[in-house]
Amino acid sequence: MAFSATTLNTSMIPADSNKIKVAIYRTSTVGTLPSVKIKLYTTTAGYSTGVFSLVDTIISFPAGSNVAYASIKYNSIGGLSATKVYSMGLAIKDKTLDSPSKMDTIAITASRKLTFVDYGTGTFTSTFFADTWAQPVKKAQEGEVYQLIDCYVTGFPLMFAVADDGTVSFATQQTGYVDATYGMVSFAQNTAYTSTKVGKTVKMIGKFTVTAGSFGTFQETMVLP
């Protein structure tokens, strides 16, 4: 038995009927049809075991098929945070069933699929690029998540989320700017500082990084429409 990969990134949508399905494979479809015991476990300190649970802890393979599906359920997609990425893991409990690949665990990250609509045009000031420009903005209908369209370079949006207390968070993302020496430059949050939204002003404190290291920490400011 094995998972097809060691990681799974998935977007949760209403059509999923409040379930995340994860494929488990076996190496043959002939002979007996063994069942496999699985378990759901925590991968990050902030994960709440009350949010997700397994529909069944024992998975059986249909006759003639080399794949079965584990179902992870949650109560309601409306009850999930629009800004949070949920992390968990799934494991095959019986190690004697391991395939030669030894892929008996899979790390899962799940987030709500968001619907972005035009929000208007604000002003973006970059200390890294020492420039200010008019910046089109899109906002998620499901929560306070923003996309800055073509922020630094066309085709590369900058996305961030705002918590109820005004704290701003953002994942490491490519800017689209390619340094002649070091290659693609990404913007990563510097967690040593707090990025915030006060009124319409968003201050994002992060590092501009390349594979060889970092150009340092800068504050990028977005004044929303």
Is the pLDDT score of 72 beyond 80? yes
Residues 142 and 217 in one domain: yes
Residues 120-167: pLDDT tens digits?
Answer: 999 999 999 999 999 999 999 888 899 999 999 999 999 998 988 999
What confidence tens digit (pLDDT) does each residue in 17-55 have?
999 999 999 888 876 667 889 999 875 544 445 689 999
Question: Does 128 share its domain with 207?
Answer: yes
pLDDT at 81 over 80: no
Q: What is the CATH number of the domain that holds 32?
A: 2.60.40.1740
Query: Is the per-residue pLDDT at 90 higher than 70?
Result: yes
Domain boundary among 112, 137, 171: 112
Domain end marker among 89, 112, 135: 112
Number of domains in the chain: 2
Last residue of a domain, one of 93, 112, 131: 112
CATH number (domain holding residue 167):
2.40.128
Q: What is the mean pLDDT of the chain?
A: 89
Q: 181: domain range?
A: 116-223
Output the 3-class SS for the chain: CEECCCEEEEEECHHHCCEEEEEEECCCCCCCCCEEEEEEEECCCCCCCCCCEECCCEEECCCCCCEEEEEEECCCHHHCCCCCCEEEEEEECCHHHCCCCCCCEEEEEEEECCCEEEEEEEEEEECCCCEEEEEEEEEECCCCEEEEEEEEECCEEEEEEECCCCEEECCCEEEEEEECCCEEEEEEECCCCCEEEECCEEEEEEEEEECCEEEEEEEEEEECC
Residues 14 and 94 occupy one common structural domain: yes
One domain, residues 132 and 186:
yes
